Amino acid sequence: MLFPTIDFAIFFAVAFTANWLLNPYPRTWKLAMVALSYVFYSWWDWRFVFLLAAVTITAQVGATAVHRFEDERHRRVAMVGTVAALLGILGWFKYYGFVAVNVDNFFHTLGSGRLLPLLEVTLPVGISFFTFMALSYVIDVYRRQLQPAHFLDVAVYLSFFPHLIAGPIVRGEELLPQIRRKRDPAAIDFGRAAWLVAGGLFKKVVISSYVDSAIVTPVFSAPHQHSALEILFGIYGFAVQIYADFSGYTDIAIGLAMFLGFRFPDNFDAPYTARNLQDFWRRWHMTLSRWLRDYLYIPLGGGRGSRLTVARNIMITMVLGGLWHGAAWTFVVWGAIHGSGQVVGHLRRSNRAAAGLDPVPDGRVRVWVQRIVTFHIVCLGWVFFRADSFSTATTLIGRLFSAWGRAPLVTPLVVITVVGAVALQYLPRSLGGRAQREFAGQPWVVQGAILGVVLLAITTLGPQGVAPFIYYKF
């Protein structure tokens, strides 16, 4: 079920009503939220509700076992076993085909026959998101940072429909306490929630859809037919598209959760203003960045050890982060680009520190050079992220430097949309906060009129029918 549809609007009206009517009755409310969330997930394919239930049961049984064992060795065995089971579920659905093809290709080069059967395994929507949430819950219980919750609480935590399909990746310590307590409707900032939902819809339905159809899909589908300038704006356009699409989803999810009395963590903070790749990952998909840091990078050793060890930890984290996004070598390259960029930055800083040199002082020119270089490295990564193959990616990059000619796709509206979407990230956050507060401070009638105008603009400017969010497939 897509957020920007009539089906979801009807569904949310039912969920909103049930949420507040059942708020005084915690157990009934939890049962209703699980049921509604499972209906929401089953809209795509009802069979995969059993997968969501299996992940929930596995996580709860494992966390309970970890908590009950006194002996550290038994606790570790229970944790590792549960993590392996959850990763096994994720691996089967998301990576079996990728592994089977590559293993068979390897043995074929050695003259052997097919080793693994090539099966078409359907990828369930959002499996990476709720699996990572289940993993963090089990690991946090093992680390004694979290007590096992009641099964019904865990079922709500993992299936709660605003975050179920594409995040944010909410930790148990962030969401479980909110599930346990009653919510106060008087404390809900309905103005901010409506602002987030409307803004997210505009980013997804208008901006993302427009740049996709106007230049991104034509360029990436047939790079041989397009000039260097069209390819350049196609790459810039995808940078805008994926930001508008994913941050739009996140804004809608956070706003919907606020309507229901919940607070989710922020997931984006003007990522295209970053001065280096480390800074980019502090601003892009922040809940995933923190997850990779806390459950992969730090357990590997983090920033401790030699420069080579730290570089290894960074590369492993980013390459696996790339694979999290998709089972293809293009995603491995995307992760390696981000890992290599962060390793270079780490080595430069550590070399200066080892030589006893102070950090290079910031100046306006240096800051802008860093931002421009970082943005273009990120865009290079987006080429591999979006391309359907290495051949397409290398063709795009090659024609950037050779395919001079006319660029009919680079219209004034495309240029204004792409440049404007990036430039908006450089506006002070205080301006957005002030506009949001002004909107929230208006009478309900005025808020409704403004929202009506925004929805009319979205309906008028957006395409007929809305494509699924990009991150649904992850």
CB 320 within 8 A of CB 296: yes
CB 440 within 8 A of CB 215: no
Query: Tokens 């995307």 — which residue?
Result: 334
Q: Which residues contact 99 (CB under 8 A, 6 or more apart)?
A: 91, 116
Alpha-carbon distance of 410 to 415, in angstroms, equals 7
- 330 φ, ψ (degrees, to nearest 5): -65, -35
Neighbours of 153 (CB within 10 A): 19
Extract the tokens encoding 462: 């957006």
Query: Tokens 């992940």 — which residue?
Result: 55
One of 325, 338, 346, 376 is an active-site residue; which one? 325
Alpha-carbon distance of 70 to 55, in angstroms, equals 25
Q: Which residues contact 33 (CB under 8 A, 6 or more apart)?
A: 15, 18, 19, 156, 159, 160
Alpha carbon 177 to chain centroid distance? Answer: 23
CB 185 within 8 A of CB 20: yes
325 is known as an active-site residue: yes
CB 34 within 8 A of CB 159: yes
Helix H segments across 160-227?
A: 161-164, 172-180, 190-201, 209-211, 217-221
Which residues participate in catalysis according to the annotation?
325
